[in-house]
Amino acid sequence: MQTTGTVRCVAVELRPLSPADAVAHCEGEDALTVRWLTGAPGTLEETEAHFRRLADNAAARRGKRGFGVWLDGRLAGYVDCDPGVRDHLRPGDVNLSYAVHPWARGRGVAGAAVRLICAYVRDRPDRRTRRDPGGGGQRRVGTGR
């Protein structure tokens, strides 16, 4: 097989977030993140509280699970899955959300993070994932393009 371009594999890691990650998370928030994920800029206190709730959910094995997306040792974004969301979902579907910090965009980070969170969800046999290709770059994430 002959290739005419660069082939790359982005090595991202998903890790549970802690309040210590809140500053880096807030610094990575921009207008696109606010538009597609949060709806309003987050404060440090709100972000720390959100990360504590995610940790509590993970410990209780229920509710939304959120992870930091790490690339090259830096927090490059956020991804979560929420089996509790029911709007426009079939039974067993899981809502996914993600955002990539501006410095990491265009490098395949979103696609890699979504593949990892889908693998995490697939480990739960009662769940399926569905993505909403609403944002510009989101159309490419689910297709691998």
Encode pLDDT of 1-18 as tens digits.
455 566 556 799 999 999
Contact partners, residue 115, CB within 8 Å, separation at least 6? none
Tokens of 63: 């509710």
pLDDT at residue 5 in the model: 62
List the domain boundaries for the chain.
12-141
Task: Note the pTM of the prediction, 2 decimals.
Answer: 0.78
Q: 3.90.650.10, 3.40.630.30, 3.30.1340.30, 3.40.1360.10: which CATH number matches 12-141?
A: 3.40.630.30
Give the pLDDT of the chain (145 residues) as one tens digit per residue.
455 566 556 799 999 999 999 999 999 999 999 998 888 999 999 999 999 999 999 998 888 999 999 999 999 999 999 887 778 888 778 889 999 999 999 999 999 999 999 999 887 654 555 555 555 454 444 434 3
Cβ-based neighbours of 80, under 8 Å, separated by 6 or more:
54, 64, 65, 66, 67, 96, 97, 98, 117
Taking the C-alpha atoms of residue 122 and residue 83, their distance in angstroms, rounded to an integer, is 12
Rounded-to-integer distance, Cα 144 and Cα 26, Å: 28
Q: What does the mean pLDDT of the chain come to?
A: 83
